[in-house]
C-alpha cells in the first residue's frame, strides 16, 4: 500500500526510482565515460540515491556494469525484428538491412558506444560473451541472407558471405564512430544523412565501383 506502483515507469522518461533509476543513470554514464571513467558517486548523485544503495542492488561496480550490459543487450536484440526484413530479392533485402541496421545503431547510441568500447578492451572476458552475442545475431542473419541469394543465383557464388557481412557492418560501425569527424571533411556529404549513406553503401556492395567494360 505504501509502495508506489512502479510498473509503468519504464514507459516514457518518467523519473524511475531505486534500482531502475540507478540502472538508467549507470547506462548513460558507462556509455559516455567507459568503465573506469564512470564513478559510483556520480551515478548515485544523479540517480538521487545513496551510494550504498547501489551496492545493495548490484553488489559491486562490476555487478552494476554487467547489469547495464545485460540491459543494453535486451534492449538491442529485439530491435532487429522491429522492422522485419522482407523483400522478394536478396539485393532488396540487403538494401533494407543496411538501412535498418544503421538506423538501429543511431537509435541506440549508448548501447553501441558501450559495445564498441568493450571490443577495444583487452579483457576478452566479457568481450567474447557479450559482443559475440550481439554481433552474431546480425552477422548470421546477413550471412544466411547472402547464402540464399547465392543459391537463388542472385549473388556471385565466389563471394564469401561472411566477407560481405563484415563490410556492411563495418561500414555502419565506422560511420557511427566517425560521423562527428566526418562533418569537418569537405569531401564528405553524407555525414548527416544516414539514409543516403545506407543507399550508397548497398549500391557499391552490390554493383562494385568499376565502370562496365564492354
Positions touching DNA (CB under 7 A) are 2-3, 17-19, 38-42, 48-57, 59-62
Q: What DSSP state is assigned to residue 51?
A: H
- Under the binding rule (CB under 8 A), the answer on residue 65 touching a copy of itself is no
Q: Which residues contact 77 (CB under 8 A, 6 or more apart)?
A: 133, 134, 137
Q: Which of 37, 19, 21 is nearest to 29 (CA)?
A: 37
Q: Select the binding partner of residue 155 from a copy of itself, DNA, none (C-beta < 5 to 8 A, by kind).
A: a copy of itself
Cell numbers found for residue 86:
522482407
With contacts defined by CB under 8 A, name the span among 1-9, 12-20, 28-36, 68-76 that binds a copy of itself: 28-36
CA distance 102 to 99: 6
CA distance 80 to 137: 8
Cell numbers found for residue 65:
556494469
- Under the binding rule (CB under 8 A), the answer on residue 175 touching a copy of itself is yes
Q: List residues near a copy of itself by CB under 8 A.
A: 32-37, 91, 113, 116-117, 119-120, 122, 124, 127-128, 131-132, 135-136, 139-140, 143, 146, 153-157, 159-167, 169-175, 177-178, 180-182, 184-185, 187-190, 197, 200-201, 204-212
Amino acid at each position: 500500500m505504501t509502495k508506489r506502483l512502479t510498473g509503468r515507469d519504464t514507459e516514457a522518461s518518467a523519473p524511475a526510482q531505486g534500482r531502475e533509476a540507478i540502472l538508467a543513470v549507470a547506462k548513460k554514464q558507462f556509455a559516455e565515460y567507459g568503465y573506469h571513467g564512470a564513478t559510483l558517486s556520480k551515478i548515485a548523485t544523479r540517480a538521487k540515491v545513496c551510494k550504498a544503495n547501489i551496492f545493495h542492488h548490484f553488489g559491486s561496480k562490476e555487478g552494476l556494469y554487467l547489469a547495464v550490459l545485460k540491459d543494453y543487450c535486451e534492449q538491442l536484440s529485439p530491435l532487429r525484428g522491429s522492422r522485419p526484413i522482407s523483400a522478394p530479392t536478396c539485393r532488396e533485402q540487403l538494401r533494407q538491412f543496411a538501412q535498418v541496421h544503421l538506423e538501429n545503431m543511431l537509435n541506440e547510441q549508448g548501447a553501441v558506444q558501450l559495445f564498441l568500447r568493450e571490443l577495444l578492451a583487452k579483457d576478452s572476458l566479457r568481450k567474447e560473451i557479450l559482443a559475440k552475442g550481439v554481433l552474431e545475431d546480425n552477422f548470421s542473419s546477413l550471412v544466411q541472407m547472402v547464402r540464399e541469394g547465392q543459391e537463388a543465383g542472385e549473388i556471385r557464388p565466389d563471394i564469401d558471405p561472411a566477407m560481405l557481412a563484415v563490410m556492411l557492418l563495418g561500414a555502419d560501425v565506422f560511420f557511427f564512430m566517425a560521423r562527428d569527424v566526418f562533418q569537418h571533411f569537405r569531401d564528405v556529404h553524407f555525414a548527416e544523412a544516414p539514409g543516403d549513406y545506407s543507399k550508397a553503401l548497398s549500391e557499391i556492395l552490390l554493383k562494385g565501383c568499376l565502370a562496365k567494360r564492354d
